[in-house]
Amino acid sequence: MDEFREPCPYRITDDCGGAFTMGCLGGGVFSAIKGWRLAPPGLQSRFAGMITSVKVKAPVLGGNFGVWGLTFSTCDCTLIYLRNKEDSWNSIISGAATGGILSMRAGPQAAITSAVIGGVLLALIEGIGIALARMSADQFKPVMPTLPEGV
């Protein structure tokens, strides 16, 4: 499906590292804003609160994203191996499995709810990707040239 991605065993570490990086960067931005807002007044104390918040919270969010990426890619590669095809259904099922696996400690009801939410979110993402691919493909369809009326 996507010829630019790594092959499956290496895709797991690639996706885990990418998710960790995105979580750390996004968590760093949001933690910096929150640390700035919650710090006592004064420029020096606000910078100190911002830096402390980033150092404490950004790696935690990065780790959470990394675990999600690791679980998702492992499920995706397992489905590619079992089904012998790489299509959108693998991502949808992997999203559902990841949601269920990561919330399993909270009980069966939470695992089922998270699995449904994960499957629906991945189905929306895949559907949007397919729709955008079709819309961009329409731009490159050959068009028959029209001749002037008098010819």
Q: What is the DSSP letter of 148?
A: P
Backbone angle region of 48, left / alpha / beta, with phi > 0 → left and psi within -120 to 50 → alpha: alpha
Can you tell me the distance from the alpha carbon of 108 to that of 114, in angstroms, rounded to the nearest whole number?
10
pTM over cut 0.95: no
pLDDT digits (tens, 9 = 90+) for 87-145: 999 999 999 999 999 999 999 999 999 999 999 999 999 999 999 988 888 777 787 88
Q: Supply the pLDDT for residue 20.
A: 97
Check whether 51 has a pLDDT greater than 90: yes
Q: What is the mean pLDDT of the chain?
A: 92
Residue of 101, 86, 77, 62 lying closest to 11 (CA atoms): 77
Residue carrying structure tokens 């959108």: 88
Cα distance between residue 72 and residue 58, in whole Å:
21
- Would you say 23 and 108 are in contact if contact means Cβ atoms under 8 Å apart? no
Q: Which residue has the tokens 């329409």?
A: 138
